[in-house]
Amino acid sequence: MAEMTYLEAIRQALWEEMDQDDRVFLLGEDIGTYGGAFKITQGFLDKFGEDRVIDTPLAESGFVGAAIGAALVGMRPVVEMQFADFISCAFDQIVNMAAKHHYRLGEPVPMVIRAPYGGRLHAGPFHSQCPEAWFIHSPGLKVVAPATPYDAKGLLKASIRDLNPVIYCEHKYLYRHAKGEVPIDDYVLPLGEADIKREGTDIALITYGAMVQQALEAADEMSQQGIEVEVVDLRTLCPLDTDAILASVKKTGKVLIVHEAPQVCGIGAEIAGVIAQEAFHYLDAPVTRLAAPHTPVPFSPPLEDFYLPNATKIAAKLKDLASY
């Protein structure tokens, strides 16, 4: 085991998969000579060469289309979106080509799109979005959103080895703000399995990505008041681990769903629907959601702080649920 940042865990996963499988290659904007906008691929060009670390034009639809073609002939491309916000430029390629190809022709499309997403870095409305719900809604795609370095490495390696197109959502704030122990040896984590980051008996707090840190902080605060919160880290958003969600709901009877993306039509609505349909009689309070408001992400630091969920806001919702 070695302690490393979330960024380094992603970097190691890419390096190891490329080192042991010649079919894996990278493409994206500024990932070669420059080493990537966040320096995740720094040094990759020297190690693996320009045939496997490909600097592309600023044309997301074009290089995602190229990745789909490469996947169809047996390669395992990993596309880097410089920011997840730009993924909308390749929306047609992703949801109409990559997502539907196996359904139409029975052929696998083993590719990964890395999508650096999320706020808390004061980057404004075009560099801070959380687009995961767009792709959860599109059959044929898997969507992953790790919260820790351990999960980030194991889930990225699993995504690269998967036969389906995977949208790998990596939160930019976590790159250098999340550290943890990561195995040095090769390992993968199964897609579609949630993880209980904290055991509890009173309230189930369901979340993912950077909100896991905030959730754990709020849960620790509630524990000091005698309220034990169970933190469920979804890790994979599609397929969704409904078994883990329902088990935690049945155990606690109260639920708070937290995500950074806007609340309207976010994954929290789907989770709430599943709970209402499958575990209604176990509930001791209404299913509660905490998410961003239905506006673009503000650029102003004070406004962004007001906009985003955080540990203080989570704790306030938990107090309300506990007293219901």
Q: Name the residues annotated as catalytic.
A: 127
Distance CA 293, CA 169 (A): 21
**For the chain, what is the total number of helices (H) and then of strands (E)?**
13, 14
Q: 199, exposed or middle or buried, with CB in 10 Å at 0-12, 13-18, 19+?
A: exposed
Q: Report the amino acid identity of residue 271.
A: I
Distance CA 285, CA 225 (A): 19
CA separation, residue 215 to residues 7, 193, 248, 270, 286 (Å): 21, 19, 15, 20, 19
Q: Report the amino acid identity of residue 22.
A: D
Q: What are phi and psi of 63, to 5 degrees?
A: -80, -25
Please name the residues in contact with 284: beta carbons below 8 A apart, sequence gap of 6 or more: 253, 254, 324
Distance CA 79, CA 68 (A): 10
